[in-house]
Amino acid sequence: MNVGKGYRLAEFLIWTRREIYVLLALGIVPVCLYELAQWRWLTVPWAVVALIGTATAFIASFKNTQTYGRTVEAQQVWTAILNASRAWGLMSRDYVKSSDPTRSLVNRHLAWVTALRYQMRRHRAWESTNRRTNAEYQRHYSVPEKEVALEAELGKFIAGDELKSVLASRNKATQLMGNQSKAIRELFRGGEIAINFFVEMERVIKELLDHQGRSERIKNFPYPRQYAIINTFFIRLFCVLLPFGLLKEFDALNAIVNGWMKGHMVWLVIPFSTMISWMYTTLEQVGASTENPFESGANDVPIAQVNRMIEVELRELLGDADLPPLLRPKNNIIL
């Protein structure tokens, strides 16, 4: 997530420079053929290009709206996890009679949040972080899940046989939540928790599992591929046809201009077609980078920071003094 004022134009230009090179070539070739080779027939009616451009704008707008909605939902899910974690910390402190079980319940919850965020950062085939432009930009920020192994992170909160069984399980977050439910059941049987408190804590576990399921749905079910690919096809078709549609439009301007540009107005097709096409391709690229809010991209939901906030707040509730610092952004990006 970008926590600065915004991206600079220079960053966008560098990020999209390969697309700009292609768009320049798409503009130069038809203009040279039209002006130098005198292929005056090499045009497309502007009405056709305008209709395709309008349809493309609607499709690109639809996709970007939907992908933004996925990011907003992911933010809501992890905000709900943060709030439910605060409630769990208070319940663990105030509902359990002994301090040692309280510490164990809080640590296991921190392990659950950690395991869940690592699961959210696993790469999926449809994600865009491996694209050359996005992979290059990853040098500008840090991805905590790539810097520290999951085993080392979980080892801060759980140990022994439980750590081994969790690492061996397919869904580590679910395994940890199962262990949590088993732990409070044993505490209830041992008289450490009253029955009404036990029921309330089980309700919070169910709520946390609901949030986990919503987060996994966003991660494991991509934006429908049929909509994504048709958006790409339409934008590429528009970018190819746009210079051909502008040839006659700019050539006709020679009749109304004077000076050194008279007779050469068609050459302006190159910068203008590149600029207009760049707007469309950049919208498509922004939509693709927003589509998956857990893919280690610069616009991801900052789940590592949420995890650290939960750890700090819950340990503070237990009276700990040696609290870890909140994560700091690198080049205004924090994950």
Q: How far is CA 150 from CA 22, 107, 315, in A?
A: 41, 15, 20
**Token duo for residue 20:** 């700009």
Phi then psi for residue 40, to 5 deg, are -70, -15
Q: Residue 131: helix, strand or coil by DSSP?
A: coil
Contacts of 253 (CB under 8 A, 6+ apart): 265
pLDDT of residue 259: 67
331 found inside a domain: no
Contacts of 146 (CB under 8 A, 6+ apart): 121, 296
Give the separation between CA 152 and CA 182, rounded to whole angstroms: 24
Q: What is the pLDDT of residues 56-98, one digit of tens each?
A: 888 888 888 888 888 899 999 999 999 999 999 999 888 888 8
pLDDT of residue 263: 65
Give me the average pLDDT of each 10-residue run along the chain (335 residues). 75 82 89 82 85 87 85 92 92 85 90 92 81 76 82 87 88 91 90 88 93 91 81 88 86 72 78 89 83 82 90 89 85 79
pLDDT of residue 140: 77
- Number of domains composing the chain: 1
Range of the domain at 206: 9-317
335 found inside a domain: no
**Token duo for residue 69:** 């909605």
334 found inside a domain: no
327 found inside a domain: no
Q: Residue 148: helix, strand or coil by DSSP?
A: coil
Q: Is 329 exposed, middle or buried (0-12, 13-18, 19+ CB in 10 A)?
A: middle
Phi then psi for residue 17, to 5 deg, are -65, -35
Q: What is the pLDDT of residues 92-123, one digit of tens each?
A: 888 888 878 888 999 999 999 999 999 988 88
301 found inside a domain: yes
